[in-house]
Amino acid sequence: MISLKGLSKRYGDRFVVDDLSLELKPGTVTGFLGPNGAGKSTTMRLVLGLDHPTSGTALIGGRPYREIRNPLRTVGALLDARALHPGRSGYAHLAALASSNGIPRRRVAEVLETVGMAGAARKRAGTLSLGMSQRLGIAAALLGDPEVLMFDEPVNGLDPDGVRWVRGLMRSLAAEGRTVFVSSHLMSEMQLTADHLVVIGKGRLLMDAPLAEVIAGSSLTAVVVRTPHVRELAARLRAAGVEVARHAENELVATGAPIERVGDLAHEAGIRLHELRTREASLEQAYQELTADSVEYGAGKGQA
């Protein structure tokens, strides 16, 4: 488990991470979302002891990272796929990490096979593509068979097959009871991968909720109803405090109420329905609503 309590990091007069409190639980893929400059990478660096907080705490399994003996056995992380010696082979890089953390050498071959790099293990890191570097970084994170895993933009540079593989890996790691914390700007991929979402903007927490709850909370999530009595149903819904976004000859769209309530109100009024379904917003749409006031580095209108 990762626990943050009042975590803050200030550079000069600006808080990059501002009073962040949350708990990331085992058995869950938690997606970490936010605009550029929101503080995602800094938060991960604070958890891993690479930066020191201005205030607050970041704990892994109840302890700061610096107090964990042989940390790769407890937490594996990929923050920068290029952060390794370019002249060292992938195998040598992993072997050095294994030796420094008391991990058996046989584990190196196992993780290289897992990430599909067994055939490229002897290549110098500086000659690897970004996608292959990502795979090597994931191998390093898996090396100690840790209970906590953190990934910052792990699918950068991967082809579609690689992206699908990472998605399956994240899901399988969580299914084994591990805590999986992954940041990404790819909303469609997060919608397919994450169980839970943490969204931050300008260093502050905007949302900490299950994926389904985040999407359901979007104003673009609605209930679509087809009925020959559309005007009567629209009046009944409005009287009950349900907003009717629009209605056509045989269809209306209701927002602000779950599908069960819309169906019950129609039943109580004796209104026959031909169709009743939920039209979900995409995660991208829900995310844009959440972060609309937190984008610091957006393009100007009309700019390419």
Q: How do the pLDDT tens digits run along the chain, 304 residues long?
A: 999 999 999 999 899 999 999 999 999 999 999 998 899 999 999 999 999 999 999 999 999 999 998 899 999 999 998 888 889 898 999 999 999 999 999 999 999 999 998 888 889 888 888 889 999 999 999 999 999 999 999 998 889 999 999 999 999 999 999 999 999 988 999 999 999 999 999 999 999 999 998 988 887 888 999 999 999 999 999 999 999 987 778 999 998 888 999 999 999 999 999 999 998 889 999 999 889 887 665 555 444 3
Out of 3.30.70, 3.40.50, 1.20.120, 3.30.470, which CATH number does the structure's domain 222-279 have?
A: 3.30.70
* The pLDDT of residue 177: 96
Which segments of the chain belong to CATH 3.40.50.300? 2-210
* The pLDDT of residue 299: 53
* The pLDDT of residue 294: 76
* The pLDDT of residue 181: 97
* The pLDDT of residue 273: 96
Fold of 2-210: Rossmann fold (3.40.50)
Q: Locate 137 and state its tokens.
A: 């970084």
Which segments of the chain belong to CATH 3.30.70? 222-279
* The pLDDT of residue 301: 46
